[in-house]
Amino acid sequence: MFDIRNILLYNQIKTVMVMDDNLFEKLKILADGAKYDVSCVSSGVERKNNTVGGIGNASAAGICHAWSSDGRCISLLKILLTNDCIYDCKYCLNRVTNPIKRASFTPEEVAELTIQFYRRNYIEGLFLSSAVEKSPDHTMENICRVLELLRYKYNFWGYVHVKIIPGASPLLVKKAGMLADRVSVNIELPTRESLSLLAPQKKIENIIKPMALIHNEIAGALEDRTHFKNARSFVPGGQSTQMIVGATPDTDKTILDLSQNLYDRFRMKRVFYSAYIPLMSSPNLPALSTMPPLLREHRLYQADWLMRFYYFNSSDLFTENKPNLDLEFDPKLMYALRNIDKYPIEINKASYEELLRIPGIGVTGAQRIIRERKNAQISYDSLKKMRTVLKRAKYFITVKGKYYGNVKFDPEAIKSEIRMKEIQRQISIFEFL
């Protein structure tokens, strides 16, 4: 997440950059207002700058406040175009009835700031979101204007991620998709009922329609590129969305069922989960004293990872009487414990998909096991050399027919042993400190 304070002190920025007081105040307000949008990560875009005199590249490492493959910290300018909103969403800091300081950038100001920050090596790209000012079309037009200025006036071809405003014209959505590297349409809440309760001015149809449009345009652009080398590009980094977790009583199953649907229907790049932070009082919201459900958010990301890379379906992660993820143990371990009849799995005979369902074995580990098995049978020592997380895996596998778990093959016994090992690890860390 971009925060100007993580780059330079405000007064240092103002000294280095030519910036009047009004613009500087806008920057402070609108950079701070953007911090609650979490849907910005590595782009996956490999587009190179091939223009004469152009600046910026979008690399496969991604542009965000994250770590690239070579260990570099990469940042982007993350701001709102405006926090002046016509909507009254109960969970949102920028809602029309909230008496906060308002500010709006012009498209020219955003473009100029982006270039100024880029040239000083503070950032490598832009993440631009916005409240809905006047109307969805008005706001979307201004976002598109920022993109046009960056691409055509400044010849900037670095990474740009923009938020699509639900309800905006399809022509404006397409225009943004032609110029941005990644776009996102925030679904905000997992059910129609929750949206109606906390954001009655928003309609689920206005959120789904641009998602479908973007998906179809991406598919069309990819098809064109199979026939024409220089065919148009449309959102090469794909689309993402975000859901708020904990503002409503919706279960984890409801949330992940929706995520599964979005991945299947729209080939969504990422679904982001944002733990609700109580910022204002409302009878339909958790009390202001409520702690953000950060561990729950973490478990949702773990489950999401299983769905995206481990061939899990959302239905695999829950039972009829337990619609929420366990907070003590990760979803993969809990799946194994609930389905103990499918274990132990023989390492030397398991399929790739079966290996991925063993706690402690990831994608790289499973691929390595499959590869090494072609030469000789895998031994327990071989698994150690492969850096398999045997403190988890050993309870759910056999190696050459031998079980290496040091407890009874029973879910409760395994759970107790893992819990005890974790307590011992924490104690040892405490003693070290």
Mean pLDDT of the chain: 87
Q: Which of 30-44, 45-59, 206-220, 268-282 has the lowest mean pLDDT?
A: 45-59
For residue 326, which of 362, 353, 288, 359 has the smallest C-alpha distance? 359
Average pLDDT on 260-282 reads: 94
Residue-wise pLDDT for 316-333, tens only, equals 999 999 999 999 999 999
Average pLDDT on 405-430 reads: 86
Average pLDDT on 4-23 reads: 58
What is the number of other CB atoms lying within 10 angstroms of the CB of residue 338?
Answer: 16
Local confidence band at 71 (pLDDT 50, 70, 90 cut-offs)? very low
**Which residue reads 């960056």 in tokens?**
150
Local confidence band at 21 (pLDDT 50, 70, 90 cut-offs)? confident
pLDDT at 7: 44
Average pLDDT on 274-296 reads: 93
Q: What domains are there in the chain, each with its CATH number?
A: 4-317 (3.20.20.70), 331-432 (no CATH)
Q: What separation, in Å, do the N-terminal and C-terminal C-alpha atoms of the chain show?
A: 30
Structural Rg of the chain based on CA atoms: 24
Residue-wise pLDDT for 211-221, tens only, equals 999 999 999 99
**Per the structure block, which two tokens stand in for 56?**
């910026």
pLDDT at 203: 94
Q: Which of 51-55, 210-214, 281-285, 350-354 has the lowest mean pLDDT?
A: 51-55
Is the pLDDT reported for residue 61 higher than 50? Answer: no
Could you give the 3-state DSSP secondary structure of residue 315? helix
CA 32 from chain center: how many Å? 19
Q: How many helices (H) and strands (E) does the chain have?
A: 15, 11
Backbone angles phi, psi at 227, to 5 degrees: -105, -30
Are 300 and 252 contacting, i.e. CB atoms less than 8 angstroms apart?
A: yes
